Structure 1
Amino acid sequence: MLLQVCKGAKGIVFLFLTIVSFCGSKVYGQTEFNTDYLKISINSKGYITSFKNITKKPGREFSPADKPSPLLSLYSDSKKSIMSP
């Protein structure tokens, strides 16, 4: 059943939001996600504060420190505006 829900872009967004909602029961100041190649840091307001290549030393930072990016933004077609956290 989970595979049926996950089909298509809407399913991926639904699955991501479901996972985040289960993880959201605890409030953390900074959350980090790591792979063998990449490290992403997200602050408690939902902004990406670090997006780093960790395959080389020193790791290359792709996110400017003075301009955090929202993890998710929504566009309202009727209002012609972008909503961020």
Structure 2
Amino acid sequence: MVGFGQTLPRKIHQRGSVIPSMDKHPQHMQCHEGYFAIVGGPAENDTFQETRYNVPQSEPTIYINAPFVGVLAYFKV
């Protein structure tokens, strides 16, 4: 996982995955006011390039986030 608290990635590849829909929140929203997801993570040498064009490291995907959400749901019950 890359970043925590104030150091979490802000320039992820899929902006739509972190911003709520305009139907639910019609007021103006900044990127940092949306929801968060786990992104690809650091490279093999433990570096992380903060850019939306760095797809392997900055893209939230279902196969990364679904197991994490499943574990959280298990502990919620």
TM tier relative to shorter chain: under 0.3
- TM-score, normalization by structure 1: 0.21
Structure with the bigger RCO (C-alpha within 8 Å, sep 6+) is 2
Q: Which has the larger radius of gyration?
A: 1
Structure with the largest fraction of strand:
1
- TM-score, normalization by structure 2: 0.22
